[in-house]
Amino acid sequence: MISKMNKLSFLIYHKEYEMFLEKLRELGVVHVEKRQGAEMDANLQAFMQKRTAYQSLLKNMTLAAASYEGTATAQPSGITIEQVVDSYESQQEHIQALNMQLPVLDKEIDAMEVWGEFDWNVIDQLKANGWQMQFYCCPEKSFEETWVDDYNATIINRKGGQCYFVTVNHTPVELEAESVRLPKQRLSELVQGQEALKAAIKKANDELDLFCINHIPVVEEALEALESDINLMEVEQLGGERMADGAIVMMEGWVPVENDAEVRKLLDESGVYYEIRAAEKEDNAPIKLKNGKISRAFEMLTKMYGMPDYGEFDPTPLLAPFYALFFGMCVGDAGYGLLLVILGLYLKKKLSKSMAGLMNLLITLGAATTLVGALFNTFFGAALTDWNLPEWMNSLIISGKWDGTAYDKTMVIALLVGMFHICFAMVVKAIGSTVRYGFKNSLSAWGWLLLVAGSVTVATLNYLGVVDFETSKMAYIGIGGVSAIGIYLLNDIRRNIFVNVGAGLWDTYNMATGLMGDLLSYLRLYALGLAGGMLGGVFNSLGLQLRDALGDFLFGIPGWICFGLIFVAGHGLNIALSCLSGYVHSIRLTFVEYFKNSGYDGKGVEYKPFSSKKKND
């Protein structure tokens, strides 16, 4: 549900403005309204640029800390954020300088490899005795054999169609070949230098990673303090409007009804003139969601799409059970669901309290997956019906074909769930439209709901044999006639009837082309669950085949080890893929199919109280 809000307006004497803002921030319950068109000064812009730099630094340091191969814990640090920035940049520059040397060394090694290992001192001694050694390369076809006798040419290597040779003469010679300049180091020395350079780069990276582990808390604290300062400056510059030649500052904000008493107490003690009234639908008040423990875990989905308007209702309790069901159908394995529940319970104890909501979501989705997977006859890729389960449990499992047809029951159930979800969204749209605009202005929504939901209901009753064909036919005619009035004639009672008919035809085109596509989208629930189950079964078969093949070797122990490795690795990969698919496609069915048919816009403003970072946490 959406918490009720009160609108707050107050006037502050300019000399008491900053002190009052500190008290207001300490209270931490007032959402301050930002003035339209207000501009930030240079100081605030500089702070925001610094925040961006700190955020980038924290991201890079976190990635570096995660790449550390050893084991280390953060040690207390007594340096400032400026020293952290300088040291981090200095170490980065050192690593970059080392990395720039590596390509040069690699190039020199490549140049020397074709010549092999030789001692430059010997060549220098030859030169001291009046002999000049020159290095050449040319295409093999261009090498002339006369060079051997005329210039004492000696072929050293042939590689890649090139001929590498040297000449030894008392005076330098010029040949129709490319003269080669080589580094004045032996090949072994270059290789040793390369290994030493790589070791130095690894050491520098390890030192940087360890530095990041030890000093990430410094950056986090600095960023937290900076966020607090920016929040204060934004409210001071953008939230208040100076009046009476700057002597008085007027501010507006919002406060939840449950916090009204403490805000009044603060304002009374501060001697501030204020007015408080209940927020109205047209006020576009900020939205504070207030749900139970289970629904609260799904609030992140609502916030991802967009908050509801103040005149709407919170969609979270309505989307929560469907999202859990969709996720369970996409993953579709009871064993995977149990692992998710166990993982969620374990991480909930290990991680910070701020992650508790996410872990509750993981536990809820795991429980839904366990239930759906058990009903759909899958446990770690194996069919539950192959086990010796009690008869009453087997009777609950959904498998096989639907009523003698060629269609799987799970596929038909996915379509039925989709149809129910769409009809449910249309019910929400009709009720929401009536609450916001009145029944007379919502006749089109009710007409479409009657047409779609009524037709589905009549078809279901006819399929079950509750009503015969003639009765169904009369019901269709009645439903169509009543629906047409709302869809084509009264979709907007303030417009001309011919305009309404045109608008109704356009809505009919959109509904006819969109509704079937929306319904077929739910087949992904069946397809993803089927794919995950089949992939899990394949891993089981591979493991069992390898176990049987090694069954006579060392009492079958290697076979069981191989089976365990395939089982863990295969199902681990399958769980990751299934959970990713379940997360993405469940969001799609919620954000596209449900929100579109329910008329939800998600254009509301989230309630963000003016408070210190620690109080917010």
What are the tens digits of pLDDT across the range 565-609?
888 888 889 899 989 988 889 988 888 888 888 888 888 888 888
pTM over 0.85: no
The answer to whether residue 246 scores a pLDDT higher than 70 is no
Between these two residues, 156 and 297, which has the higher pLDDT value? 156
Note the pLDDT tens digit of each residue in 124-150: 999 999 999 999 999 999 999 999 999
Which of 607, 609, 606 lies closest to 30, judged by CA?
609
* Confidence at residue 190, expressed as pLDDT on a 0 to 100 scale: 92
Element (H, E) at 537: helix 523-549
In this structure, of 365-379, 553-567, 581-595, the range with the lowest mean pLDDT score is: 553-567
Question: Cα 305–309–315 angle (5° rounding)?
Answer: 55
Structure tokens at 535: 């992939």
Q: Has residue 71 got a pLDDT over 70?
A: no
Check whether 121 has a pLDDT greater than 80. yes
409 pLDDT band, cuts 50/70/90, is confident
Spatial contact of 369 and 575, defined as CB atoms under 8 Å apart = no
Q: Which residues pair with 138 in a beta bridge?
A: 163
DSSP letter at 590 equals I
Residues in contact with 133: Cβ distance below 8 Å, sequence separation at least 6, in sequence order: 123, 126, 127, 166, 167, 168
Name, of 217-221, 325-329, 428-432, the range with top average pLDDT.
Answer: 325-329
Say whether pLDDT at 100 is over 70: yes
pLDDT at 617: 46
Summarize the confidence of residues 431-458 as an average pLDDT. 84
Among 201-205, 493-497, 514-518, the range of highest mean pLDDT: 201-205
The answer, yes or no, to whether residue 39 has pLDDT greater than 70, is no
